[in-house]
Copies of this chain bind each other. A is one copy, B any other.
Amino acid sequence: MSLIEKLNWRYATKKFDKTKKLTSFQLDELLHAVHLSPSSAGVQSYKIIVVQDAAVREKLQQAAYGQAQIADASQLIVFAAETNLDARYVKSYIDHVAKSRSIDRANLVGYEQMINGNVSGMTEEQRITWAKKQAYIALGVLLTSAAELGIDACPMEGFSAPQFDEILGLKEKGLTTAVIAAIGFRAEDDAYSKLNKVRKPEEEMFIHI
């Protein structure tokens, strides 16, 4: 299948086949892809929680209007934004850049100052929103990569972030839930897989200048 055929194949899977699980190879490949997601200034201002435990997923399901995908999918992926984006966080990132690229740390001071300038110019709420937006890029990478790898997924915003944070113990880790996606394989009788895909007509979506 071409990329476009794969993206047409994918849909927000509402009913997963409970008996079909990703192999560890498939899960690793999908997580590797998400790990390579780009982010603003490269700071990767989020972490990714891969939830497989049935008891935890049952609690999360209750915190998400009982949506069956959360329990029935192979795994639930929780994108959690960093809430402590400060100079210390940036310093640690820049240290890592210097090491990864064998660059003299002193040559990265200007880059560090630029990021700190951006971060310190935002309110706490704006910083968290910024961090969450980066997680949404990663969600886009996950959904496209899953389609590419023949894995089904269902992105979801319908959940209580405070309850998710509580259940997953995120607050004490300096994290807050941004968005989630269930991954696995569609049940053969998921009626949603048979529906036409709905998208704005291209002439409404695109403006060419």
Contact = CB atoms under 8 A, between A and B. Distances in A.
A193 to B, nearest CB: 13
Contact of A137 (B4, B53, B139, B206): B139
In the assembly, how many copies of this chain are there?
Answer: 2
Given A52-B209, A53-B209, A7 B31 contact: no
Q: Interface majority SS on A: helix, strand, loop or mixed? A: helix
A101 B195 contact: yes
Nearest to A201: B96
A199 B195 CA distance: 38
A29 to B, nearest CB: 7
A38 interface: yes
Given A101-B198, A148-B148, A198-B42, A35 B137 contact: no
24 contacts: A3-B29, A3-B149, A4-B29, A4-B32, A4-B36, A35-B199, A35-B202, A36-B199, A37-B140, A38-B143, A44-B199, A44-B200, A47-B207, A48-B206, A52-B209, A56-B209, A100-B196, A101-B198, A133-B133, A133-B179, A134-B136, A137-B155, A141-B144, A173-B207
